[in-house]
Structure 1
Amino acid sequence: MQPRHPFIPYGRQTIDEDDIQAVVNVLKSDYLTTGPAVENFEKKVAEYVDAKYAVAFSSGTAALHGACFATGIGEDDEVITTPMTFAASANCVLYQDGKPIFADIDPETYNIDPDKIRKKITPNTKAIIPVDFTGQPADLDEIMEIAKKHNLTVIEDAAHAIGATYKGIKVGSIADMTMFSFHPVKHITSGEGGIITTNNKTLYEKLLQFRTHGITRNHSLLNENHGPWYYEMQFLGYNYRMTDIQAALGFSQLEKLDRFVQKRRKIVQQYNNEFNTMEQIITPFQHSHGNSSWHLYVIKLKQDLLSITRKRFFKELNEANIGVNVHYIPVHLQPYYQKMGYNKGDYPIAEELYDHIITLPLFPAMTDENVHYVINTVKKIVQEYQIK
């Protein structure tokens, strides 16, 4: 009996001795929670994306919440986003008592369609949250133009897109605020963590205060000043601080980001070279305006050319020890959102995409043997179940 191939997850972190030592150094220092390592990491990220400011948070979701607060989103305010994303892109609006308004996606790029954004704008619209799905930047020029015309804030959810470029500019300095995630399956990790980059000083100061209970020690912002110990809680904020332990890991990882992205692009090219010749599979569209950093590699199955369901295809890959996934179940199909009045059929392009996609493994530590095994297994299943 042939031994099973070692399990290949759809994504995983790449940690080396430099990363471990960076964390150990913090553990031996005077600071474990928010201290100099957080500030150093923020400066490093801002410098990398060519933004003036960066504010680190305990998670990407917390960072999005902070961005919604800084925008001033409140009750009855509407925020337009895509249904083809993780729930956090919409949940952050609900945290501020706002209302997520979904706009369907472009059938080629899988990103939010600017034309559909225009149709969703009302007098209550406050912001747009485009998502750089799989690492491919959204149509930022067009979205920023829409926002400027209607006096809206753009919060770019770039959880998938650190290291990506849009028309030669690094993602992170184009939108009013940009969020990056450092969850372990992302390009770089801080264990858990997220960050907002911005060029707006007012937004920057609001974000800093929001992540620390709404408390400030900034003398220029205080109503009173009793002495050097004095601080004020000026609004209801949250404890969303990143720790120095997380930041040290993130800083060490950031120095390897370009190498990680380069490896991801190489794997994508290997996948494309093989799958582009197969009429049963649609490979990810690559827009000319952006250079994706490839967080995810999503294939779409042409069901009319296959005698196998997506569910069975998924199961066979799992049985071959390939840890595939599906990104994403459209947010409006979640039971919580259905109870709020969102319905199946509201966003047909996103729903049709969801019914046919599978995410294949993609991470920097994948070997050529891993990549070839995934390719050959997908091909074998397709050949077995192709309609003659």
Structure 2
Amino acid sequence: MFKSRLFYLVALVLAYFLNHFFQTVETRAVFMCLIVLPAFSLLISYYTSRKILVSFEINESRIEKGGVAYIELSIKNPTLFLCPYLFINLTGSYGFALENSQLICSILPWRTQKVRVMLTGCYRGLFDIGIESCHIEDFLRLFGFNCDIPPKLKIVVTPQLKPVNPKFFQYYHNNLHAPNNVGSSDNLLSFYDVVPYDQSKDIRRIHWKLTARMNDLMVRNYDKENGVTAAVLADFSPVNGDDLQRLFVEDRLAEAFASVAHFLLQNYNAIDFVFADDIPYVLNNCSRFDFDKIFSVCSTQSFISKLSASELVAHYTELNACMNIIIITDKQNELPYTIENAIGKGFKFKVLYLGQADIKSNFRVEYFSFDEIYSGQ
């Protein structure tokens, strides 16, 4: 736009001097055109900018890291005038990559134009996405006017769920209890763990064969009755390092939080999930049906916890009774001293470190690196 304005001013000054010295009809006509046309273009552009309607939607509000979603832009020109240049800048973020963050298009009168932009998730987290700015320029590229833009939307980039190696839990095998078949299709006479359905129950727990037999909706209740298998302590304390290193570490931690919790809930009974921001939180007695809550925490919780992993251990062991504790952290120096106090009370620990653990395992405490817990690694 700057070059267009500069060219216009040079042309206007030149036309003025030509008209001043020659005083012909032609020079006067050129000079008047250089005054009238921009004024006319200014009025049309201003009017069009007030009428243009821009909206957008995202086909997926939650995508996995590395997955794709699409932004669907709709641009409507309800006026009688051509919109020669429409510029749209989309919101940028480190959490996702856009196929094209700046769009330039022309909209004919009484037309609606659709534009699709691909988005790829790069880092886990909760991000704003939308239109950062939208403006119109007239056909002479001399004037620009901002258009109204819709509010931004939220998109969640979730961590990848990795397959956990079952050997990681082989030392816990005698203490971790897989769900029994009470209430399963092979044991229709076990009524004590099946209760009548009401709106507070998850519809996915309906026991269809027993429902048909009793002529009333019945739901399984055994997932949370058999006790907690283990407690997963997720360390959301701030990560050290530069921006790229910090994002990499946070992503790997979140993947481990979610993957271990998912494995336990798919293969064993309920778990406790423990994390903190300003204060500690314990999601007690989570079954496989509650995994979405845990996954949401792993996807959106910021690494701003004021409580260290050691403080989480102290908080949990003081108020809760599950004796099998899995700690997932990128910090290892402070933990051994805190764990010693809990070991005396009968707690057993597995500690997962982002790097290679340099502390020896023993009967009560086992140390692993992240690479050791994933299948095929």
- TM-score interval w.r.t. the shorter chain? under 0.3
Q: Which has the larger radius of gyration?
A: 2
Structure with the larger strand share: 2
Which has the bigger relative contact order, CA under 8 A and spacing at least 6? 1
Structure with the larger helix share: 1
